[in-house]
Amino acid sequence: MFNVNVIAMCVCTRETLKIMKDCGIEDGHIINMNSVIGHRIGGHNTTYCSTKFAVTALTEGLRQELRNAGTHIRSTSISPGYVETEFVYR
């Protein structure tokens, strides 16, 4: 879960920002898929919850870094609510 929800997100964000810089894009938007569980403790899967808390923190940290660097690139986290899938029962 950490590899997919945290590490992969960081690598994709890093590479996307490199491309934006190389192309002279100063007004882009980084959108991270999160979960409502990344904003409050709930459920029984603490590992999943912790990865989504990390997405929340990384998105906010990136937002602040981009603002401090003087870019107009935005960083947003979309946090949908609970969706019942087969993954829930594993």
Residues tagged active-site = 48
Distance from C-alpha of 56 to C-alpha of 16, rounded to nearest angstrom: 18
Regarding beta strands 74-78 and 29-33, do their DSSP bridges make them parallel or antiparallel, or are they unpaired? parallel
- 75 and 66 in contact (C-beta within 8 Å)? yes
- 26 and 72 in contact (C-beta within 8 Å)? yes
- 76 and 32 in contact (C-beta within 8 Å)? yes
